[in-house]
Amino acid sequence: MTTVRTVLIAVRDLRASPLRNLLTALSMLVGVAAIVAVSAADQLVVSAVIAQQEQQQGRASTYEATLPLGEEQSEDALKMHEVVRGAVTDADASAALVASEPVTLRAVDGAATSFNLIQVEGDLQSVYRRPVVVGTWPRPESTLSPAVALNQEAADKLGILEVPAVLRWEVTTDRSATVVVSAILTDGQTEATAYGTWSAIAAARAEAPPLAAPRLLLTSSTVSREVLEQVVTDAAHRVGLPGPIELRRVDTVAETQQTVATARAALFVCGIAALVVAVLGILNVGLATVTERSRELVVRRAIGARRRDVAAQVIGSALLVSLLVAAVAVATVILVVLGVVPRLTSAAAITDPVTVPWPAVRDGIAAALLTGLAGALAPAVSASRLPVADALRA
Amino acid sequence: MSSSTARSASGPGEVLVAEDLGVSIDHRNGSSTRLVEGLDLVIQSGSSTAVVGRSGSGKTTLLSVLGLMRPPSAGRLYIAGRDVGTLRPSVAAGLRNELLGFVFQNYSLVEHLSVFENVALPLMYGRRATRPQVRERVERQLTAVGLREFGRRRPRSLSGGEQQRVAIARALVRGPRLVLADEPTGALDTATGTSVMKHLQEATVEAGAALIVVTHDDALADSLHRRVDLSSREAAVAL
């Protein structure tokens, strides 16, 4: 019997007991939906929640040290950062020095507004997931005005719709400097924030800027915290600071992944339990159906169906129901992922576009087909063993 | 492929040949009951044969042997010149589909299929038929039994006589060499039964097939060309 005939017979078989098929599908749907949800949630957490955490707290394995330096010791802080960067570059690690100060900025013909200026030295993008949405930052050194980047909140406050844009920075009460907004980046903060490299800020201020409570950030997925601590302590000694300097972990990726793994395991166990129950249900209904339809099945045998044709009919029907269940589960997940998730999440927080969770689709179809197959095998064998001579028994 | 072998002595027009055929049923305790012994029978195409006998004499069991649903316990059996005494189940299924048509006592139509789909059922197995071929053959058979307009209806919406005519159309749709009917009028009133038998005989003759009917009905048996009486263990064949 060809595949086309098998499919045709399976489709027609759905008409045999529509209510029973519907109930079977519903019992299967719970488990399949759980499996699909586990898979889809996993992807969403990775693409949205962890991305958001990397944006705000730092990428996986990010450590921070608050340097015991006064504002006037900015040169020491920069030197220490340079030493650390030189030491970790070959060890697949990144370092950035950040400090912040309040500044007053205003757009041309605009009112002066207070902002938090993050002073950056080093590779901020390797430490945080804060992608540039528009423009370029940091900008290569040039003779043009010093460049800063704004977050979306700051851009909105200043009415900046496109870059580059020119700003006035009230450097002191009697002096202002021109700076260029070269980029808008997404940092997930609700506070208006500007970002500038140490050299750009120094150029704007016409002097070395003070670094208030500078923080040294290090990210590495391969180097241990102890090794990084030793690197930072050695660097501190090089600039004459007392040690040791302790690093504390600031990212929450590992905790989130652990929570997700626990939740995933719990949901997975629930899903498997639901599928096992569904298999038993399908098995029960399948065996009852074979008994109920034994007359029809032996008549089919009498008029030419082979044992494997009858088995294929039973399995084909179950797989067809399974595919319908998978389609419903997958359609629901796609609807939720594409329709609901973007509405529940801040546009500034999500950095990766929400896409169809194809692994969840794959897992849902596989779970449904395996459940259907497991539930239909025994009934199929039972059906194929019905004695054909019973066709002549009234 | 079929494991059957061609019978050298097969004559022209011979659809079924039984030589010293024995039929018995095996019980679970290992014993067996002999129902038919030493049956010699030659069925020609276009002929009709009644199998009669008291209840429990083995009429239906003999029909299941002739219908390749169980092997004979002794002797040899040929259908369309092929030795079909011992066949693998899949080969027997193929030959049933290709050479035989069945009409059952209680119609045995598939309730969730339409009349058209029921008649087309044998074409879902065995040699592949294209969709136009299926339509043409089914419509031809439905026309022959006077049910051309009933193709989309479900069996339960038909009368008993109409359902049995659908079963006849199903039995003939593959163009069988031999039609086996088990009490085809058993569930029908006399008038309807007579009409259905008339249809069955005419359709079988028109198809060039032979007909074997198991029946309790003497009048029906008398209307056929000959009878096989299983009242005693050694079957008697009478013209």
What's A60's DSSP letter? Answer: S
Q: How many CB atoms lie within 10 A of CB A161?
A: 10
Number of folded domains that form chain B: 1
Q: Which of A251, A276, A293 is the last residue of a domain?
A: A251
Residue B16 maps to a domain: no
Residues A97 and A204 in one domain: yes
Residue B15 maps to a domain: no
Alpha helices in chain A (DSSP H): 3-13, 18-44, 50-56, 74-88, 124-127, 152-158, 198-205, 225-238, 253-292, 294-302, 307-335, 341-344, 358-384
Residue B115 maps to a domain: yes
- Rounded to the nearest angstrom, the minimum Cα separation between B109 and chain A is 8
| A330, A367 contact by CB (below 8 A) | no
pLDDT at A371: 92
Number of folded domains that form chain A: 2
Residues A41 and A160 in one domain: no
pLDDT at B128: 86
Burial of A132 (0-12, 13-18, 19+ CB in 10 A): middle
What domain range is A130 assigned to?
Answer: 62-251
Residues A47 and A83 in one domain: no
Residue B158 maps to a domain: yes
Q: Which positions of chain A have pLDDT values less than 70?
A: 1, 141-143, 342, 344-354, 394
Q: Which of A221, A251, A281 is the last residue of a domain?
A: A251
Residues A89 and A177 in one domain: yes
Per CB-CB distance under 8 Å, the chain A contacts of B71 are: none
pLDDT at A163: 87
Residues A189 and A314 in one domain: no
Asked if A393's CB is within 8 angstroms of B93's CB, the reply is no
Residues A308 and A357 in one domain: yes
Burial of B76 (0-12, 13-18, 19+ CB in 10 A): middle
pLDDT at B1: 34
pLDDT at B95: 95
More confident residue, A110 or B204: B204
Q: Which of A227, A251, A275 is the last residue of a domain?
A: A251
Per CB-CB distance under 8 Å, the chain B contacts of A9 are: 124
Q: What is the band of B2 on the pLDDT scale with cuts at 50, 70, 90?
A: very low
Q: B202-222: string of b/e by CB count within 10 Å (b at 16+)?
A: ebbeebebbbbbbbebeebbe
| A13, A321 contact by CB (below 8 A) | no
Which long-range contacts does A99-104 make (Cβ < 8 Å, 24+ apart)?
A99/A211, A99/A212, A99/A213, A99/A214, A99/A215, A100/A212, A101/A209, A101/A210, A101/A212, A103/A169, A103/A170, A103/A194, A104/A169, A104/A170
Per CB-CB distance under 8 Å, the chain A contacts of B97 are: 303-304
Residues A301 and A178 in one domain: no
Asked if A15's CB is within 8 angstroms of B112's CB, the reply is yes
Residues A38 and A167 in one domain: no
Residue B44 has φ and ψ, to the nearest 5°, of -95, 155
Residues A95 and A159 in one domain: yes
The tokens of B46 are what? 């276009």
pLDDT at A222: 87
Residues A161 and A276 in one domain: no
Total residue length of chain A: 394
Asked if B60's CB is within 8 angstroms of A12's CB, the reply is no
pLDDT at A344: 65
E-strand ranges in chain B read: 14-26, 32-44, 48-52, 74-79, 82-83, 100-103, 178-182, 210-214, 226-229, 236-238
Residues A300 and A376 in one domain: yes
pLDDT at A74: 81
Residue B144 maps to a domain: yes
What domain range is B54 assigned to?
Answer: 48-68+87-224
Residues 4-43 of B with CB under 8 A from A: none
Nearest to A304 among B97, B104, B128 (CB): B97
CA–CA separation, A7 and A25 (whole Å): 18
Would you say residue B219 has pLDDT above 90? no
CATH of the domain at B144: 3.40.50.300
More confident residue, A358 or B210: B210
CA–CA separation, B151 and B142 (whole Å): 8
- Rounded to the nearest angstrom, the minimum Cα separation between B103 and chain A is 9
Q: Which residues are CB-contacts of B90 (< 8 A; sequence separation ≥ 6)? A: A306, A307, A308
Residue B21 maps to a domain: no
pLDDT at A389: 87
Residue A358 has φ and ψ, to the nearest 5°, of -60, -40
pLDDT at B123: 95
Chain B residue with Cα closest to A391 = B104
Residues A39 and A69 in one domain: no
* For residues B90-107, average pLDDT: 92
- Tens digits of per-residue pLDDT, B153-183? 999 999 988 999 999 999 999 999 999 999 8
DSSP string, B168-196: HHHHHTT--SEEEEESTTTTS-HHHHHHH
pLDDT at B236: 60
Asked if B70's CB is within 8 angstroms of A15's CB, the reply is no
pLDDT at A142: 65
